[in-house]
Structures are given as C-alpha cells and as structure tokens.
Amino acid sequence: MTWPMRGAPGTLAAPAVGLLAILAVPALLQGATLHHVQIIAASPTEAARWYQRHLDCEAIEGRRDAADCRGLELAFVAQPTRGSTQGTGLNHIAFSYAQLESKMGELERVGVRGSGVRLQRFEDGSTLRSLPGLFLHGFVFDPWGTRIELVEDPRRLGFHHVHLSATSPETTLDWYRRILGGEPAALPSAERGLRFGDRWLLASRHAGSAAPAPTRSRAIAHLAFEVPDVDAAAERLHEAGIELEVGPSIPANARSDAKRAIMVGPDGVTVALVERGFAGVERPVLTGEPAWRAPEAYRPPKTPWGEPDLQGIWTGNAAHGIPLERPEALADIEALTPEQAEARRERGTLGSIWGYEREWRDTSLGFDKMTPSTQVAMIFDPPDGRLPPLTEEGKRLAREARIERQRIASRPAAGPEDLSPYVRCITRGLPGMMMPGIYNNGLQIVQGSGFVAIQKEMIHETRIVPTTPRERVGPDLRTWLGDPLGRWEHDTLVVETERFNGRSPFRGSSDRMRLTERFTRAGPDKLVYEFTVDDPAVWMRPWSARFAFDLDGEQYELVEYACHEGNYGMFNILSGARARDREAAEAAK
Amino acid sequence: MSHRIPGRSTVAALAKRAACLAALLVAPELGGHHAFSSEFDAEKPVRLRGRITKMEWINPHAWMHIEVTAADGKTESWMIEAGPPGALVRRGWRKDSVKPGVEVLVEGYRAIDGSNKANGRDVTLPDGTRLFAGSSGTGAPYDERR
C-alpha cells in the first residue's frame, strides 16, 4: 500500500507548508504542464474504447489511439509489453469518483469476463477500503497491465493523480520540481507531491529491496509534459548536464509539427517533453489483402516424385477470429481494414483473457508475428456468407442436440461421457480440427509418394490421405474422422471424406456429411484451405468456406499431445463436479 | 477541472455509434481445451507468492508446481495451470526461466474441488515483470525480432 494512514481531513488544494520549503529555486523549464501518459496496449483503438466504456473517458477528435480521461490524455501505442506498471517507478494513475461504491460495483458486475476489468482485492477480499482522514479507495487493472487507483475525493473529481514509486520520494520530487516546476504540495496525510495546475504528481517510497524497474516496455511507458519550446528546453537541460535519450524532433508520421524529446528521470521513469498540440503519430498502413488472391499465379515446388509439395509446418493463427458466418452488419463489406481486424482480434482476447493470459496464446496481438486476417467471414458460398436453411431433419437434429446440451449443462458432469470428444482427448472432428484456436494451431504436412499425412497439434489427430485411386471402405465402417480419398487437381490437393460416425459434429453436421477439402499453395508461405460441406440430411444445399494457413516452421514446432497423460482438465472438471454434488447434498439437508 | 475539447459531445456520440458497430464485429473466441468454468471457480480468486518446485511441460497445458509459505510458516504445495508448452516457448519461457527456486507471484482462480490447484491467469516475477522477460533465452515477445 502506498497511502499513509495518518493525518487529518483537509483540502487537497492546500499546499503543505514547510515540507518542501527548501525547494524555492525556480525550475529549469518554466511553464511545464502534464500533457499525457503513454500506455502500451495491443490494440490502441480497443484500448481507447475500453477506457471510454469502463472509466468514463471520452473520445478525442481525430485520435482513435487516445482518450481524454477526465482531464488526463491517455495515449495508446501498440508495442510488445513486458508487464504491468507494478514494480516500476510509475506505479499507477488515479481517478476520483463522487460515488465510488457504485462505480466499483459496476466494474465488479462487468467483471473480468468479457471486459478485461481486473479488480485488485485487499487482503480481506474487499475491493474498497477507507483511508482514515482521506477517502475511500481501491485498485483495478486495465487489460494491458496499467494499475489504476479509484478514489472518492469529492473535491477533485476526474483525473486525480499520477503516483510515482521512488527509492527516495524526496529526491525524486526534487528532480521533477527543479526541472519541470510544479508547486510543492501534499495530501493532508503528508503524502508528498507536486501540483502542475490542477493535476498532481505524488511519490511514495518504493516497496521492497530492489530498485524500481524501468517503465520502458511496461504498461505505462512514459509520462509526458508539455513545454513551450522543446529545442530551448533541450538546451537548458544540456547546460544543466541532463542528457536526453531522444533529442528534439518531430516523430515520423506525427499528426502535428509539435516537437518531442525523451529523457529518463529518476527511478527509471521515462519522461517525454512535448510541445503544444502534440497529437501522437499515425501508424503506418498495413496492407491486408485477402489470402486466397491469385493462387493460379503461383507454381508450388514439387516433391522428388513429382507431386506438388505442401510439406511444412503451417499455422492458422492469422485466421483466428474470422467468424464462420458473415455478421449481418457487415453484409456489404469486402474486407475489414487492418485496424478493424486488429480490433476484432483484441476484442476476442478481451472476451477470454480472464482464463488464458496473453502469453498463453499464439494469437495475442503484441506477441503474435501474424497480422490478423482482414477476411470478414469464412463462408463464401452461399454468397451471403450465411449457412443455408436447415432441412426438416436438420431442424429435428438441432432440436435434439439442444435438448441434450441442456440436459448435460443442467447438472455437474456425471462422468467422462458427459464431456465433449474434445475434452475427452478424442478429436474435434472434421472440419473442426482444422479450425484455428487461440493456440496449438500447428498443422504439419508430410508427404510420401501417393500419401499425404496431415497432423494437427491440437489435439494430436493425424490424417493419412491416400492420393492414388482406391475403393472406399464399406458403408458400415464409420469413424471419427471418416474415410478420406485424395487426388491432385493441378496443384491442389483435393480430399473427399465420407463415412463419419457423426459423434463430433460441426455446426450440426450429421454422419451423412460428405466433406470436400481443397489445399492450395497460394504463395511460398500461404496455404489456402477451402472446404465444402455437403450434408443433405441437415442443410438444404452444400456450403463452402475458406481461410489460409501461413508457413510458420521458423518459430513453430509441434509438441507431442500426450493428451490423456496431460489431461488434468478432465480430472479437475470431474472432481469439481463431485464437489458441486457434495455442496448440493449439504444444502438439501 | 477537466480540460474541454471542442466538439467532444459529437465525437462521443460518433464514438458510441462506432462502438455499437464494433460490437457487431465481435467474433466468437474459440476456447481452449476445456471449459474454465467447469474446472476453476471464478468466485475464488487466489493470489499466491511461492517458489517453483517443478514444471511439467505437457500439452494441452503446462503445470507449474510451487511451494507457498503461509503467514504461520507452514508450507503448502500448489499446482498452477499455465499455457500450452509450445506457446510458452514461443513467448520466451525457457527451462531456465522456470527452474526450481524461482520466486513467482501467481494470480488466478482456485479449482472448484477446493484442492490446491489454480489457473495461473497472471504469473509474474515479484517486481511485476512478466516471467519471460526475466529469462535467459531470447526472453522477448516474438515481435521484437520481426
């Protein structure tokens, strides 16, 4: 905890007399004010939305990468992150609410699920506590690791302060005051700080024996002050023996001609100086052309025995997040912009981040080398991108499947049979096993003369596809992954599979599904995967979808899926179910 | 108190409309190998500080074993679910970065059955850095090399 627990009630605006009275020398740079705080976030547009949605910030005209957080500009940049603000010299930023209990209640209700809001609980499990003589306060984290304090200080609503964590708060505050000015002041409880206009910079003693970690590459990357003239400021700093890390310049792709300079302040806190009107930089426009363009223009390499060579380790990471069906709101859109694609991916991450942290995945922006696909939807036939209407039997099967799902969901799993073939380490079925997930998307293709072996890391299925003519197995022999027959059509591998057992359906498919897959190398690093589902029992007409795999052998290796040995998940689900049974039995007594 | 930005109400209204459109763009997230909610209890957050005793590098999830010393001096063993081994390696985790004795801070949710198991939603070094950042390998997200 950073706040001292003593002191009498008073007004924040009252400067603390005496505490910092020795610091009466004029500052090196006159007229500096707090300009913005830079936060590293995987998707700047999503971060700006998140702060608007959850912390009452507002959009800033012409800036999709920033938000006006009730008096403080937060500027978001997409960069790899190395962790949260905790442990650095810039511990948190704080906002004040008139009704903090209701605000915290709102954040608690929204919860980490689907929003990425993380509450930091005190030792007794509460999210708020009262600081005697001060105010009620609590902490939350944004999904990118920024620690945020929420306080109930009715005298000062909105952005409240930036809180430094210093080896020596006196020395640190003296540095800021000597260089940037600010009015020595303190909270009534003697928390030390400086006032820049109506904004506060507070400093507390850094906890622990180690020095504060540098802010570079952490959630809050820097603190920026506005000065009238960055060139003049640099000169004065140089005369005072303070070196800049980045000299005065207009950054590449800047939105204004305001200059910026960067230095490292005490406790590893990066401090930027900007001129009036500084408005960040435009990100370079990435091209996001659909993956399946012009496959006919590419001639793939051949195996020594003369067949097209599809071998290698491929991943579907870039395709992760493309919905199977076209959303109705996107009926007329050919492709997303790269920014929209990035936002779609980040929303997917925020929707599930409570269970699986960013670095657990292969699809997290900021870690993933793949630029997310701009493809709107996987289904391209029917042309509206929607699944065709169901047949009468299809409707009956869907109804039965729904009832069965409800039956299973209505009580804790009785045994493994109540869990999906996926959780039971059997298979995700076809075409399910080809679909990109958040991780373990590795697809290894190995060929021999007349055979193609297709292995997927999750969950260990290996399909052996013969490519020479042969007879199908008999109609009574039905298997999880069916009976595949392959052939080469020009440079495309075509695989027709039938005789499924129907126990791992895809979107309601039946055991009568006939699946036709087409694997085409559209470039040295691109494998287009197209599939047609023909299941007359379920759908009124066949439908087709596609997405692309990227060659990824440089960084990706398939790890053995010793699925049962590693399946603690199954154990935990069933032992959790028995615990729920016991709770129910206790309650019934 | 807060600095005014011209035309912000219009901007806010536009932003709200953009957010509505954005919501329609949300794609369903294909989950992991098993449902979190049937394995861990979202109502039982845990915060553990302990030392690694063992690491199981297995699919679909690696498991980190840690020893936690309680306030009364007693030690407890916990199993922490981590990501898939391949993804962890690609993020820069190395055998060296999770070797026995390394102190970690784990925040996550406890197993429903009440045993000493949790999912490790956040696993950091005591100073808050991500575990991979302290590794001796490449130790960096993939992007830094691109």
Write out pLDDT tens, residues A535-544: 999 999 999 9
- Taking alpha carbons only, the member of A577, A296, A471 closest to residue B39 is A577
CB burial of A350-368 (b: ≥16 within 10 Å; e: otherwise) equals: bbbbbbbbbbbbbbbbbbb
Inter-chain touch A357–B123, beta carbons under 8 Å: yes
| Interchain pair B22, A458: CB under 8 A | no
Decide if A347 and B22 are in contact by the 8 Å CB cutoff.
Answer: yes
A376-413 pLDDT per residue, tens: 999 999 999 999 999 999 999 999 999 988 888 888 88
Distance in angstroms (rounded) separating the CA atoms of residues B24 and B102: 44
Place of tokens 């297995």: B58
Under 8 Å CB pairs connecting chains A and B tally to: 256
- Model confidence at B9, pLDDT cuts 50, 70, 90, reads very low
pLDDT, one tens digit per residue, over A491-528 is: 999 999 999 999 999 999 999 999 999 999 999 999 99
Q: What residues in A contact B57, CB-CB < 8 Å?
A: 559
Q: Which residues on adjacent β-strands are paired with residue A141?
A: A118, A147
Per-residue pLDDT band at A236 (split at 50, 70, 90): very high
pLDDT at residue B108, as a whole number: 83
Nearest-by-CA chain B residue for A158: B2
For position A541, what pLDDT does the model report?
98
pLDDT of residue B3 exceeding 80, the answer is no
| Percentage of chain A modeled with pLDDT above 90 | 65
| Contact assignment for B61 to A566 by CB distance below 8 Å | yes
pLDDT at A291: 52
Q: Which of residues 37-76 of B touch A (CB under 8 A)?
A: 38-42, 45, 47, 56-61, 63
Task: Note the pLDDT of residue A230.
Answer: 96
Task: Sort out which chain B residues have CB atoms less than 8 A from A60's CB and list them.
Answer: 5, 8, 11
Report pLDDT for A13.
Answer: 36
Shortest CA distance to A527 belongs to which of A549, A507, A543? A549
Choose among B22, B28, B122: nearest Cβ to A49. Answer: B22
Residues in contact with A107: Cβ distance below 8 Å, sequence separation at least 6, in sequence order:
A54, A117, A119, A140
Whether residue B70 has pLDDT greater than 70: yes
Q: Please state, in angstroms and rounded to a whole number, the distance separating the CA atoms of residues B112 and B118.
A: 9
Q: State the pLDDT at residue A161.
A: 93
Query: What band does A44 get if pLDDT is binned at 50, 70 and 90?
Result: very high
Residues of B in contact with A570 (CB under 8 A): 34
How far lies A366's CA from each of A22, A66, A279, B22, B91, in Å?
A: 46, 18, 23, 21, 11
Helix ranges, A162-254 (H): 169-180, 230-239
pLDDT for res A366: 73
Cross-chain residue pair A572–B27, CB shorter than 8 Å: no
Q: Where are the alpha helices (DSSP H) in A189-302?
A: 230-239
Q: Which of A61, A422, A572 sits opposite B111 (nearest CB)?
A: A572
Rounded Cα distance, A376 and A163, in Å: 43
Supply angle C-alpha B132, B135, B141, rounded to 5. Answer: 40
B36 pLDDT higher than 80: no
Q: Give the ipTM of the model, two decimals please.
A: 0.78
Beta carbons of A563 and B119 less than 8 Å apart: no
Is the minimum CB–CB distance between B124 and chain A shorter than 8 Å?
Answer: yes
Given pLDDT bands bounded at 50, 70 and 90, which one contains residue B5? very low
Contact B34 A555 (CB under 8 A): no
Q: Which residue has the higher pLDDT, B61 or B30?
A: B61
User: Tens of pLDDT along B104-145?
Assistant: 988 888 999 999 999 887 788 776 677 654 333 333 333 333
Measured CA to CA, the distance from residue A419 to residue A503 in angstroms comes to 12
Cβ-Cβ contacts under 8 Å, B39 against chain A: 569, 572-573, 576
Residue of chain A whose alpha carbon sits nearest to that of B86: A559
Q: How many residues does chain A have?
A: 589
Q: Are A558 and A457 in contact (CB under 8 A)?
A: yes
| Whether pLDDT at A293 is above 70 | no
pLDDT for the residue numbered A8: 30
Q: How close does chain B come to A96, measured CA to CA in Å?
A: 12
Query: Residue A357, CB half-sphere, CA atoms under 13 Å: how many?
Result: 30
